[in-house]
Amino acid sequence: MNMSIPKTEAGKYSFLVDAAKDLGAADAKVIAASDVIVEDRVTLKCRSGCIGYGKKLTCPPHVPTPGEFRKILAEYHTALLVKFISPAEAEPNVICSIYKYWLDPAAPADKKAQAEKFWKDHFNGTGSFAPMMLELERTAFNAGNPFALAFINGSCRLCETCNVKGGICLHPTQARIPEHAVGVNMVATAEKAGMPIKFPVQGHPELMALLLID
């Protein structure tokens, strides 16, 4: 049990833990919203290497900055951490440079093939994770939490090309922001919550998602 949140509060939302596991999550835990760790440096990773940067309305620079999100987060009392396991797996010598082998035309053919298989398995297998988080958001909302809001792991995949030029999301009821896009350090947050994720990745990637409850 996370020591930052009263047992009564954790018990109040235990139905969300049960719902997450029923939906297929590997683990879930109620934590204090103040235990969600937000760092300015996290979004630098979005700018330096993510192929989705600037191309999706749910990604930087189109979402709240870490500073703005800290103010929003301060208005919440409780959150739910949800862990998922990706079905994808790659050899250690491939996973260590998975983006390079996936995107670099000069990458060795065997490693490129492994990287392509990894991402195909990952995207096919994790396609249900965002809908699971939306379902948890709906469940929390219908239980009397009007500001319940889900964040997802990985960028939005609803549209082949996001309507960035138009400036308006075409699926606002379904699209959600990745938590790292607003500066959440999920490795540190999960560690603090007592449900650490393996990093660097070993075997099947462990993915974390966040639900703000109040």
Counting residues of the chain whose pLDDT is more than 90, the rounded percentage is 78
DSSP structure string for 126-173? HTTHHHHHHHHHHHHHHTT-TT-EEEBSS---S-SS--TTTTS-S-TT
pTM score over 0.85: yes
Render pLDDT for 189-198 as a digit per residue (tens, 0 to 9): 999 999 999 8
pLDDT at residue 4, as a whole number: 67
pLDDT tens string 128-168: 999 999 999 999 999 999 999 999 988 899 999 999 999 99
Structure tokens at 29: 């835990």
Identity of the residue numbered 189? T
Helices (H), the chain: 7-12, 14-23, 42-47, 66-73, 92-95, 98-103, 109-126, 129-142, 186-192
